[in-house]
Structure 1
């Protein structure tokens, strides 16, 4: 065991928890003492989803769990009252983080660095106060980071807020290809840029500019040009250590109770099932849910559809069209949540209709499952650009229009959904063959990256050597 003690703050959203926990496990496996910090509210939801059991207690490495308040009562409905939740993360949580850091320092061992999700606004101030390095943990592709990092260029070129020709190309982001407005993260497509979310993201990237290192859940070979330009522009080492995936069969950290779909999947032919999920955070209109339901039904392909109870809003019930479950009972299965890795790794699953969240993309690529892209929110629009146009591992579902109040503004109708699913799921069709060939190539790159001598493995070891160097210099100065 080294003397390195890293305190890693997870952002309290499912898509951020998974890579943070897996980064902590990788650090711990290399001898780093990792203190993983979760908010009280988030931890309570995870425990409830696991029937009172603590999934963090099952880790085999020396990870310590610490809890911190996000500034709100534990039973506060953070999904229904998202603005209040966001305001608390922005303005109230820092006080509680400071108290926790004081407590951890007092108990020991001394803290070597803090690793914080990039979307927190306070890391640079906390790091300065405690005199330790600040590592910004980025859970999305490097191209999305570069777009946010160069927000000033978007303003300078008159594209924020975007008031000009929406067909105009944005061709000045270092390391990124020419982008359309609809390729940008949804928050940069908005006409109203005065919201709390915009303020929060802007402040978060001001803090990230002061980071000593950036560690990212991506693969260097997939984002190489963007990463090289970013490092030159920022002067900050950008360290790709992905993909940070939950191993199949391992106890996860889900915030919803998971359904076991194995027996249903076992009954279906190889590559015949379409897996559908809109992720853990994005919301969809009830009208779009109805069109999606009827499109799935009319496609006649077997499907598993993950439909979170709060996918429209936590106070909206009766999400599906009348009679849908009866009509689809021999064709599909609707569940609230599943272990996505377990489902995607099943031989009967032949495609993934995805919201284009980065975790979902990495899992799908790793397991060789082609994607049908249906972006809804934030980085998903840029991720869609990567997987459809650059890597050729996905088809688009519906015309991608400008985000409006961070909701997909154009309804994709059932006829188009059914026809696209049929084309996508045809294993013998030209498009199906192309997707499967391309995904095999990308998967090989990812697999090589995490092997001994691979880029992600080497980058992780280089980062740990940096942390050990901090400790050596600390002890030599005492």
Structure 2
């Protein structure tokens, strides 16, 4: 029996109409998640309780800030309340404000700041915190978090499926393009993979500079270009003539299986927005990164992979405006020059990056092996859950 056959799923309303454009209205969407979604989730929980089997564990992301008081208020504390955070950010040297998570703006009255503040406060009610990182990579940060919170904190990363059985349907929010035949025709370590994730938006002006910078680099590229990368109501954002001029150099796709692309031998590097999942996937598959953070924790993640772990090169100056987007364009000339430098695997910087990536891979692989830190941490958490269950139903 596969694990999938044991998992049931259910849709829950976020309090907004189904046809509401969440991408175009991020403030209204955030407000709904904070103030409107709670009763719908509570209704689902009550329905599940009636149908059985009884709920014994709640797993929630820290940014669903109402989860703690909704699920625990007036209810039995025999439930285990588990928070998941995507990653931690170690630093052995001082961090300047522009590199610190969520601290780039002065206005603390915004909805985003309310959610962030409440998320950190709600995490204090958790019975356990697990994180998609590795003890050996984030030891000091984990030690400080445990000391300050008093809550068990377990690193169980990297958490993802690094291969997909043949015939299995993808779970991406966008339809995936199959780029393998195009990649198969490219020499080993010759292609730059570029993707800015599934959520962050980029200005049309910066998309133009990025497109022309990639073109001017004269290096092969595979660029994931989401339909809503600028906004859901903004189409045709690429420069006029770009697709025709780049057809012999690069490939533009709406969405791809990122693990398939990163594991391909022709890919030499990953131009990334520094989302934590992308970082973990890139490192696990041995691909150095060209860091281009866009918002929130991506700036701290950028510092971590560039300055601390030495597995990435930075693209452009880190800067943000009040709406969490870059306020300074990275010009095409800088993009082109940096891409050329980054993709020179025989150069000194290229060799250093690849050596550092190799060291991190070994740490990650040891962590998930039998007896490794992540494996042990996961087993410890499972034992904790079993103990709680046995105490409820002796």
Same fold (TM over 0.5): yes
**Is 1:76 aligned to 2:20, yes or no?**
yes
Preserved contact between residue 246 and residue 252 of structure 1 (Cα < 8 Å): no
Partner of 1:469 in structure 2?
Answer: 387
Deviations 1:353-377 (A, max 9, x none): 1000001100000000000000001
Preserved contact between residue 269 and residue 288 of structure 2 (Cα < 8 Å): yes
Preserved contact between residue 142 and residue 216 of structure 1 (Cα < 8 Å): no
Inter-partner Cα distance in structure 1 for 2:393 and 2:92? 42
Deviations 1:158-204 (A, max 9, x none): xxxxxxxxxxxxxxxxx76421111112x321132211111111112
RMSD value, Cα = 1.5
Deviations 1:101-129 (A, max 9, x none): 11111111111121100111112113313
Inter-partner Cα distance in structure 1 for 2:36 and 2:349? 50
Partner of 2:86 in structure 1?
Answer: 139
Pairwise mapping of residues 7-406 of structure 1 onto structure 2 (< 5 A)? Answer: 60=4, 62-129=6-73, 130-131=75-76, 132-141=79-88, 143=90, 177-185=93-101, 187-250=102-165, 251-406=169-324
Cα separation, partners in 2 of 1:352 and 1:450, compared to 1, 3 Å: same
Could you tell me the TM-score, scaled by structure 2's length? 0.95
Inter-partner Cα distance in structure 1 for 2:217 and 2:337? 7
Inter-partner Cα distance in structure 1 for 2:156 and 2:388? 20
Inter-partner Cα distance in structure 2 for 1:472 and 1:274? 52
Cα separation, partners in 2 of 1:176 and 1:89, compared to 1, 3 Å: farther
Partner of 1:444 in structure 2?
Answer: 362
Pairwise mapping of residues 419-438 of structure 1 onto structure 2 (< 5 A)? Answer: 419-438=337-356
Shift of 1:209: 1.1
Preserved contact between residue 181 and residue 402 of structure 1 (Cα < 8 Å): no
Shift of 1:422: 0.5
Between stretches 351-360 and 202-211, larger displacement belongs to: 202-211
Inter-partner Cα distance in structure 1 for 2:348 and 2:208? 30
| Partner-residue secondary structure (3-state), 2:10 | strand
Which consecutive unaligned segments of at least 5 residues does structure 2 have?
A: none
Preserved contact between residue 191 and residue 222 of structure 2 (Cα < 8 Å): yes
The count of corresponding residues between Structure 1 and Structure 2 is: 388
Inter-partner Cα distance in structure 2 for 1:317 and 1:376? 20
Cα separation, partners in 2 of 1:276 and 1:136, compared to 1, 3 Å: same
Could you tell me the TM-score, scaled by structure 1's length? 0.79
Cα separation, partners in 2 of 1:281 and 1:135, compared to 1, 3 Å: same
Shift of 1:403: 4.3
| Partner-residue secondary structure (3-state), 2:194 | strand
Cα separation, partners in 2 of 1:320 and 1:344, compared to 1, 3 Å: same
Inter-partner Cα distance in structure 1 for 2:303 and 2:327? 18
Cα separation, partners in 2 of 1:252 and 1:384, compared to 1, 3 Å: same
Deviations 1:6-61 (A, max 9, x none): xxxxxxxxxxxxxxxxxxxxxxx9xxxxxxxxxxxxxxxxxxxxxxxxxxxx9645
| Partner-residue secondary structure (3-state), 1:353 | strand
| Partner-residue secondary structure (3-state), 2:11 | strand
Preserved contact between residue 61 and residue 84 of structure 2 (Cα < 8 Å): yes
Inter-partner Cα distance in structure 1 for 2:345 and 2:53? 55
Inter-partner Cα distance in structure 1 for 2:128 and 2:352? 38
